[in-house]
Amino acid sequence: MERTSAGWPDLQQRRVLLAVCGGVAAYKAAEFCRLLVRCGAQVQVAMTAAAQHFVGSATFAALSGHAVATELFDPVQEAQIGHIRLADAAELLVVAPATADVLAKLALGLAGDVVTTAYLAFEGPVLLAPAMNVKMWGHPATQQAMQRLRERGHRVVGPESGELACGHVGAGRMSEPETLLDAVWHCLAPQSLAGRRVLVSAGPTREALDPVRYLTNRSSGKMGYALAAEAAARGAAVTLVSGPTALATPLGVRRLDVTSAAELAQAVLELAPQQDAVVMTAAVADFRPVNVATHKLGKEQLGEQPTLTLTRTVDVLAALGAARGAGGPLLIGFAAETGIDEARVLGKLAAKQCDLLVVNDVSRTDAGFDADDNRVVIYDAAGARQALPLLPKREVAGRVLERLVELLAARRSAVPADG
């Protein structure tokens, strides 16, 4: 199983109650359970009787490492687990797959099995992942139940559209386990950026030589996508300006696609004044061809030793630093270096006018370009440095955003009370 586009969220010791209902998508719930445990969560599973026709309780017991609650009136299970104890012990209740039958019962407050009774006893956030036939999903009764559940503040993920197990095509597929994993983190993450607007740039740019060739770099976009995902999970309204990547848009993120450095600069400089912070992780090409051919350049035109004339592209980070003014957004830059020269870094920090500059050595094989991990040094505007060990990019994103929260708090406290 591949990582999400943003990497794994950190769910160490977070307590999740996974309620599995009867549907073909129950097999996805097993993979989702495995991912939760892999991210460090403590998972307790409850299953309806119908769910056990699709996946056995022994599967979930093995994946979660805990006994599975299946019977409301079994004296042994009630003594060992107990539906009230299930609700009291959890931080988050996830119903996946959430069938039409169970959604209707939850909306009405019916409690006839271990899942529905645990729901009524649970007082924390609830995440619903509907899965059913497209006609069942579109039925007014189901939509009325969903409206009532949304009004209670429950988060709903999916259903997605596609070919269903019954052969019909349309909305009804349960969201993929990786998508649900990010949704869990949205429910549990500290809302330290709630109400804030954050712009993140990510990925490489491409500078055309002719209709089929271009200059680019090895950036995968993973670091920027991790930052966008983490900022959204922490409550920010996130706009992701992305160069060409193969990554999926993180949950809750608005994405704008660009190709060239000029397109990226236009988008970022236009959006920046409305942001509380701009995080520039994009690997912007420093040079572009002076002349761009309108047709493919053949070997006979290029010759044996072709010469390519280049010119500088706009320095987007420096332009942001120069244009933002005293009340502009906080600015976090990323710098990819082949070996970290302290004097060069400090010079770049001053020239770009960043509040933070995050530097990583892309000559290393275990971090940086194309890797899932990163090892960075964070410099503040005064030149003080914070070196982080090798960490998953999602965790690096969290550390960087913690510094951003500190800067936002400092800026707020510096504003006079009557200002």
Q: Which residues belong to the active site?
A: 166
- From 309, 307, 352, 347, select the one nearest 334 (Cα to Cα): 352
DSSP assignment string, 231-255: HHHTT-EEEEEE-S-SPPPPTTEEE
Bridge partners, 215 (sequence order): 207
User: Which residues are CB-contacts of 318 (< 8 A; sequence separation ≥ 6)?
Assistant: 351, 352, 353
Bridge partners, 277 (sequence order): 198, 330
CA distance 306 to 309: 10
Alpha-carbon separation of residue 348 from 144, 237, 300, 344, 407 (angstroms):
57, 29, 42, 6, 20
Helix (H) or strand (E) holding 13: none
Through-space distance between the first and last CA atoms of the chain, rounded to whole angstroms: 52
Angle in degrees, 0-180, between the axes of helices 26-38 and 177-188, rounded to the nearest 10: 50
Helix (H) or strand (E) holding 230: helix 222-233
Helix (H) or strand (E) holding 178: helix 177-188
Spatial contact of 354 and 321, defined as CB atoms under 8 Å apart: yes
